[in-house]
Amino acid sequence: MIIGRRFNGPPDSGNGGYTAGLIAAEVPVEAGMVPQVTLRRPPPLETELRLRPGTPTLAVLAGDDLIAEATPVAPADPTTAPAPVSWDDAQAAADAYPGFAHHPFPTCYVCGPRRPEHDGLNIFPGRLADGRTAATWRVPPAGVDPVTVWAALDCPGGWAVLSPARPYVLGRIAAQITRLPTPGEQCVVTGATREQVGRKAQVRTALYGAGPGQPLLAHAAATWIAL
């Protein structure tokens, strides 16, 4: 397994959600379970990562360094995922994205506004009046895979707790995908903080179709850790 340089979060390590999605694809799960990925070190880019299967935990290593662990868990309750908002409300929040002015990792694959090749996901989560985050996402014409959906569920949760004075990074995430968004589909991503204790914040994120009924496409529960 190799994390391509394109898929960075911080400049020299992989985006947490994208990395977790890559690892999750290697975890065998029974019906009713989902992979949960815990990042132990910043995931290195362009480096061969070795998988060490275990029961129930899969370990991911770079040389002798433990980078991440993954294990099957019960998914979070989808009825407690952050509620959807309209496309227009999500776009208004995205237009006021605080990362345009102050961003700890401005070239992040998911939420970075300064990608040199403009090849990121361009998900820019701004705050709603109730403290949640929301962003629009137009799926590329070629469509996306589950790894990309894990990535899309990452940063909107982080921006629910991030501030210019206190950056956070992803520590753990478990995601459940109901269906992949279709090529070109308009989607809305929402995020919310559920609890903060010390350096750790528990967040939830959700991906919805922006069309009639706004179906829930995927949702995640994650832990973010202050630097």
Is CATH 3.40.50.720 correct for 78-226? Answer: no
Delimit the CATH 3.10.129.10 region(s) of the chain: 78-226
pLDDT for residue 164: 66
- Spatial CB neighbours of 110, under 8 Å, sequence gap ≥ 6: 9, 15, 17, 18, 120, 121, 123, 151, 152, 154, 155
- pLDDT digits 0-9 by tens, 184-214: 999 999 999 999 898 999 999 999 999 999 9
User: Does the pLDDT of residue 31 top 90, yes or no?
Assistant: no
**pTM of the predicted structure, to 2 decimals:** 0.96
- pLDDT digits 0-9 by tens, 130-186: 999 999 999 999 999 999 999 999 999 999 998 767 788 999 999 999 999 999 999
Percent of the residues in the chain that have a pLDDT greater than 90, as a whole number:
89
Please state, in angstroms and as integers, the Cα–Cα distance from residue 206 to each residue in 21, 56, 157, following that order. Answer: 15, 27, 9
User: Does the pLDDT of residue 34 top 70, yes or no?
Assistant: yes
Report d(CA 121, CA 50) in Å as an integer.
27
Does residue 164 or residue 120 have the better pLDDT? Answer: 120
pLDDT for residue 166: 79
pLDDT for residue 178: 97
- pLDDT digits 0-9 by tens, 83-115: 999 999 999 999 999 999 999 999 999 999 999
Does residue 20 or residue 198 have the better pLDDT? Answer: 20
3-state helix, strand, coil in the chain (%, to 5): 15, 35, 50
Cis? peptide before 56, omega within 30° of 0:
yes
Q: What is the mean pLDDT of the chain?
A: 95
